[in-house]
Structure 1
């Protein structure tokens, strides 16, 4: 796993605590072992630190690690581009291998789906409909692809295109696959994200897709977001890098969700 170590902000008066908070905020979720290694202390010390910081509302305490508290604000896009890159690459390659040549795809906004867009270069005869200008810029030069973008309001922070016209446009298409990432997967199987306008587009794509391919690295099981997309169900395929927690695995089995767990390089 790649740990993003951004410059920390003085919040608590304790430099180690401040570094721990910054690491959690920038990565979404980190295990006790990863924090101990990065900060150069024992896991027992990290557990005590997490307990103290969670009691004071700086982070969220989880079994085996710590996560962000906020379910409203996503980590800055430029930071998300640099974290969990190995996991995102492996997931992207697995999704690319899963997709059949000659398919029609919806692709949403996000750093993870940009990894997937790059991995699609080996495919042939794809039609791609996307509301991500960044994804379109990665794919349009490929002569094997037909790339269709939507018209609406362009967001400067992530290259996403949103608005009611986007939803209306999406409803004119039927796709073999929707490729999407998300903000979090709750223990009850609810799929969550941060922005209601972006979620509206994802819902339209989901409604018009035969299969939904969800790219979610392990941090998505240990964080939260405020806007509901849908719940795990039997036309969904979940691609991740670690076995999901027990509660989510139960939902996966009950709903007959197809699960692909990629193996990280050692």
Structure 2
């Protein structure tokens, strides 16, 4: 595991608790059922371990499982820009391949969406709406492009625009394709996020888009976040960098969500 983790006040962890920590830190999230099968113990036993580890602030307890604590998951934005940069570029190429010439595109906020903006450079007849100052800046030098910024309150180092101004702005338009980022998924495949202020804008965009493409690294498919953003019936395609875990793939397939990732 690299660094051996111990509970506060000198309390040693059991071998099973240390292995649970190793699994969670490796995967980002693990369900109680999966851990119970792995250790061949009851779900109640695993649940007690998770409650204890959560109390010691070594992991974060969620409904149905445990994940890396939020402070660990949510990297600084500068670090996010360089983390898994190649994976984000591969996701971006898939997403851009879904956009037809002349279509109107909405770009959400986040480093993966910024990679999509970079991949869009050089496309002719581009019409982009965005709530991301970063994405708008990336496309600002494109002479054969129309770039519209929603307005709203500037929030955080990612240059995102939020509040009712941004939500009302996107509600006035129709988009052929909405490219939306996310922080995790719920048990039923719904997109989730950590930032409640951005959710209303994402939901308003999805309601005005003919197609919704979710973009995110495959590691996000193994963890939940705080608030649901979109149910699966509002997601047409998920573009990611690797094959989803079997349970996630099955959940999304049953919901009719197309999952695309690089082959080979």
Shorter-chain TM-score category? 0.7 to 0.9
Task: Please say if 1:173 is aligned against 2:173.
Answer: yes
CA distance change for structure 1 residues 103 and 242 in 2, over 3 Å: closer, same or farther?
same
CA distance change for structure 1 residues 192 and 31 in 2, over 3 Å: closer, same or farther?
closer
CA distance change for structure 1 residues 242 and 142 in 2, over 3 Å: closer, same or farther?
same
CA distance change for structure 1 residues 29 and 183 in 2, over 3 Å: closer, same or farther?
farther
1:33-66 deviation line (CA, Å, top 9, x unaligned):
xxxxxxxxxxxxxxxxxx99778432359xxxx9
Task: Please say if 1:237 is aligned against 2:237.
Answer: yes
1:118-162 deviation line (CA, Å, top 9, x unaligned):
001132212111011111001121012100001211124211111
Cα distance in 2 for partners of 1:156, 1:139 equals 20
Q: What TM-score, normalized to structure 1? A: 0.74
1:165-220 deviation line (CA, Å, top 9, x unaligned):
11111111000000011000123112100111111101110000011111121111
**Is residue 128–residue 146 contact of structure 1 (8 Å, CA) maintained in 2?**
yes
Cα distance in 2 for partners of 1:146, 1:94 equals 22
The equivalent of 2:77 in structure 1 is 77
The equivalent of 1:106 in structure 2 is 106
> Shift of residue 67 of structure 1?
4.6
The equivalent of 1:182 in structure 2 is 182
CA distance change for structure 1 residues 234 and 164 in 2, over 3 Å: closer, same or farther?
closer
Q: What TM-score, normalized to structure 2? A: 0.75
**Is residue 122–residue 142 contact of structure 2 (8 Å, CA) maintained in 1?**
no
SS of the equivalent of 2:173 reads coil
Q: Which has the higher helix share?
A: 2
The equivalent of 1:158 in structure 2 is 158
> Shift of residue 112 of structure 1?
0.7
Unaligned runs of 5+ in 1: 1-10, 14-23, 33-50
SS of the equivalent of 2:70 reads coil
SS of the equivalent of 1:161 reads strand
**Is residue 192–residue 229 contact of structure 1 (8 Å, CA) maintained in 2?**
yes
Cα distance in 1 for partners of 2:8, 2:73 equals 21
CA distance change for structure 1 residues 188 and 164 in 2, over 3 Å: closer, same or farther?
same
**Is residue 186–residue 228 contact of structure 2 (8 Å, CA) maintained in 1?**
no
The equivalent of 1:18 in structure 2 is none
Task: Please say if 1:200 is aligned against 2:200.
Answer: yes
Count, aligned residues = 226
Unaligned runs of 5+ in 2: 1-6, 10-20, 29-49
Cα distance in 2 for partners of 1:174, 1:213 equals 15
CA distance change for structure 1 residues 237 and 71 in 2, over 3 Å: closer, same or farther?
farther
The equivalent of 2:41 in structure 1 is none
Q: Compare CA radii of gyration and give the structure with the larger one.
A: 2
Q: Over aligned residue pairs, what C-alpha RMSD do you find?
A: 3.4
Aligned positions of 1:127-138 closer than 5 A? 127-138=127-138
